[in-house]
Amino acid sequence: MKRLVPFIGIFTILLTACSIAVPIATATPAPTTIPSLTPTLAPSPTATPVNITLRVKDELVNCRFGPGITYVLVNELHRDQSLHAAGRNDSATWLYVRDPGNPGGFCWLSAAVVEAAGMVDQLPVTPPPFVTVTDVSLRAEPNRILVNCSQFPQTVFFEAQVTTNGPTLLTWSWEASTGAASDVGTMVFEEAGTQIINEFYPIGGPNEYWVKLHILTPNVLDEQVNFPVSCTP
C-alpha cells in the first residue's frame, strides 16, 4: 500500500496541470477607413436670357391669348411695329411676345407674320395658357310669374350664355331652390367664343325661387337668377 502513494501524487499533479486555463492571444484588427462617397457637384451653368427682337411685316396682325387662332384676340399690331419675343411653342410657329398695348402683359403671335433678328428656335418653350370661362350670363323666362292659383304647375325656362377665351371642355350642373339638381353636363369649345346652355323646371306653387348654374371646369364659377312666382285665387 505504501508504493501507491507516489503514483497517486504524480497523478494528482497531472490533473491539476490540465485544469489550468491557458489564455489565447486575440489579434486586434486595424481600424478601416471608409472613403467618402459624397459626389462633388459641378457648378450649374447660368442660362443666358435670349432676347430676340421682332418686326411686324404684315399690314395688320392679331396677337392672341394662346398659340393658335382658336384663342381669343388680345391686341392688333401694325406693320413695322417692333416687339420683343420671350418664348415660343414646341414647333416655333407661334411666338410669345410682350404686348405693347398692355404693359407687363403678353400675347401670342404667328411667326409667319414677323421678321426675327435672331434664331427663334433658341427661345424657351412656353406652355399654352390655362383657358377659363370669362363670362356667364343667366336669365329666366319668364322672369316673373303671376297666374291663377289653379294654373299650377308652371314651367320656367333658363338660358345661360357661357364665354371662354380659348378651346376647352366645359362641365356644369344646375341647382334649384326647390331642391332639384341636374346631372353634370359637358360641352366642347373648339375655339374661344360663347355657347348657350338651356334648362327648364316645373314650378308647383307661389314662392320666391332661384336657380344656380355651377361651372365646374375649366374653372369654378356660380351664377344665380331669382324669379318670384305668385297667384291669385
- The stretch 172-196 carries a mean pLDDT of 97
Is the fold of 52-122 the same as that of 133-232? no
Strand partners, 207: 229
**50 pLDDT band (50/70/90 cuts)?**
confident
Residue spans of the domains in the chain: they are: 52-122, 133-232
- The stretch 103-121 carries a mean pLDDT of 95
Note the pLDDT of residue 51. Answer: 77
Is the pLDDT at 124 greater than 80? The verdict is yes
Note the pLDDT of residue 49. Answer: 61
- On average, the pLDDT of the chain sits at 84
Q: What CATH code is assigned to 52-122?
A: 2.30.30.40
Is the pLDDT at 15 greater than 70? The verdict is no
Cβ partners under 8 Å of residue 217, min gap 6: 168, 169, 170, 171
Percent of the chain whose pLDDT exceeds 90? 76
- The stretch 198-224 carries a mean pLDDT of 97
CATH superfamily of 133-232: Immunoglobulins (2.60.40.10)
Report CA Rg, the chain: 42
User: Which H or E run contains 4?
Assistant: helix 4-18
Distance CA 8, CA 33 (A): 59
* pTM tops 0.85, yes or no: no
C-alpha cell read off for 229: 312666382
Q: What is the pLDDT of residues 82-93, one digit of tens each?
A: 999 999 999 999
